[in-house]
């Protein structure tokens, strides 16, 4: 007949090692999960910045004059007085 022997310290050592390994792996899994969440947030933020930049580029491109138009255009939207060659000349008296 087999007798049931209580857990001894020799049986406890493998269980402690397993529990330690499980705790270590759990900590690593949590660190990886946190890192993935941060990377996802960063990616979402960068995608938003890329989309905004594409919209700004499209806005600038829509303001460009046609290729046949020889005039110069201010793409930054700042007010610029039209340049007339006669405006910079001193008036003459004839």
Two structure tokens written together for 42: 């960063």
CA distance 72 to 82: 10
| Residue 76 DSSP class | T
Write out pLDDT tens, residues 11-35.
Answer: 678 899 999 999 999 999 999 999 9
Which of 13, 11, 10 lies closest to 21 in space, CA to CA? 13
Name the pTM for this structure: 0.50
- In this prediction, residue 3 has a pLDDT band, given cuts at 50, 70 and 90, of low
Tally DSSP H helices, then E strands, for the chain.
1, 0
Q: Which residue has the tokens 């397993």?
A: 18
């Amino acid at each position: 007949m087999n007798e049931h022997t209580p857990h001894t310290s020799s049986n406890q050592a493998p269980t402690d090692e397993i529990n330690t390994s499980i705790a270590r792996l759990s900590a690593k899994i949590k660190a990886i999960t946190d890192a993935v969440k941060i990377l996802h947030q960063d990616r979402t933020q960068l995608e938003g910045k890329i989309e905004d930049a594409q919209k700004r580029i499209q806005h600038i491109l829509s303001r460009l004059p046609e290729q046949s138009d020889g005039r110069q255009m201010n793409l930054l939207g700042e007010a610029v007085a039209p340049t007339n060659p006669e405006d910079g000349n001193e008036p003459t008296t004839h």
